[in-house]
Structure 1
Amino acid sequence: MSDIAMDVDSTPGEAAKRKAPDTKSKNIHFTSRNPPWTYFKLKLIPQPGETPQPLDALSARTYLTSALSQFYGLTGTAIPIDILKIENASPTEKYDSIWLRVPREDAGAVVSSVSSWIGGGNKSVGTADVAWRICAKGNFLGALIAGSGEDLFVP
């Protein structure tokens, strides 16, 4: 027979009298079980009595690579880290901060190495002893900054 199912009890006139489906908007719940990225907000904390140089991209990358290398060796330095934004200290913020994106699978390695690392400064060059403090960590950037995310990319 046929694979098409037909309603044999309805006539063409009855089909026209049927109501259109409700077009009200419905809430859709969405769950992402395996997001590809983990986002971090880190603050660079100098040792008491030290005044560090303002944080730039090269210094931040050097500090992060040093922390990953110290704890995980060559494997740690192979972790891809994207620096999304660097915020230098301001009257409202006492310390420099940085926003990072890393693959979700490597988030644990980043947390353990960065939170335990203390960078040695060089007095002759004027760099201070510093350490990273993890201020926020999450799998979605919008949820991490508690908003739309538009202020993250404002200079």
Structure 2
Amino acid sequence: MSQDTNSEAERSILEKTRLHKTHELLTCIIKSPPFSYVHLELLTNPPDAAVELDNLQVKSYCTAALRQFLGLTGTAIPLDMLKVEGSECWVRVPREDLGSFAAALTAWKGTSDEGIESLLRIKQCSDWLGAMVGSHGQDRLWNN
């Protein structure tokens, strides 16, 4: 009787194996990413001022905002410039500093140079860069 039970168990295992055509090789779950990403836009007054951003300008503006909001502690927040294009840029900050970074840029009054006022505005931020890049340009979809 034990041989019959073993053969039934083997048949059951074989049937279950035949039903599954795919096999999971690896599962990886990222619970808390180390970085957050911020999409910034330069706003100017007057709006028609032809001002283009560069890496140093973005770093300078962000450092000024962080210093004004958090003092020297704010300047210690590491910033990585991912891309600067025209009046937009993408920045990477440590995930735990995203709230402080966003608050500093929101509270920053901007700068004035030769009668042109400039400030950085946060367009979007996320812990996942792919989510931001995938949505980039959606605002133009219905406006064209």
Shorter-chain TM-score bucket reads 0.7 to 0.9
Q: What residue is the counterpart of 2:99 in the other structure?
A: 108
* CA distance 1:14–1:76, shift in 2 (3 Å): closer
Q: Give runs of aligned pairs for residues 112-151 of structure 1, distance below 5 A.
A: 112-123=103-114, 128-146=116-134
Contact kept? 2:66, 2:74, Cα under 8 Å = yes
Aligned pair count? 130
Per the normalisation by structure 1, the TM-score is 0.70
Q: Which amino acid in structure 1 is aligned with residue 130 of structure 2?
A: G
Residue identity opposite 2:112 in structure 1: G
In structure 1, distance between residues paired with 2:112 and 2:128: 34
* Contact 1:85/1:100 (<8 A) preserved: yes
Name the amino acid aligned to 2:99.
G
**Other-structure match for 1:19:** 15
Q: Which of the pair is proportionally richer in helix?
A: 2
Equivalent pair of 2:43/2:118 in contact (CA under 8 Å): yes
* 1:33 alignment partner AA: K
Inter-partner Cα distance in structure 2 for 1:143 and 1:50? 30
Q: Runs in 1 of length 4+ with deviation above 6 angstroms?
A: 26-30
Q: Which residues of 2 match residues 91-106 of structure 1 at below 5 A?
A: 96-106=87-97
* In 2: Cα distance, 1:14 partner to 1:64 partner: 66
**Residues in 2 aligned to 1:26 and 1:114: alpha-carbon distance in whole angstroms:** 48
Gaps of 5+ in 1: 1-6, 89-95, 148-155
TM-score with structure 2 length normalisation? 0.75
Partner of 1:68: 66
CA distance in 2, matches of 1:16, 1:109: 60
Q: Considering only aligned residues, what root-mean-square deviation do their CA atoms show, in Å?
A: 3.1
Gaps of at least 5 residues in structure 2 are 136-144
State the percentage of identical aligned residues. 33
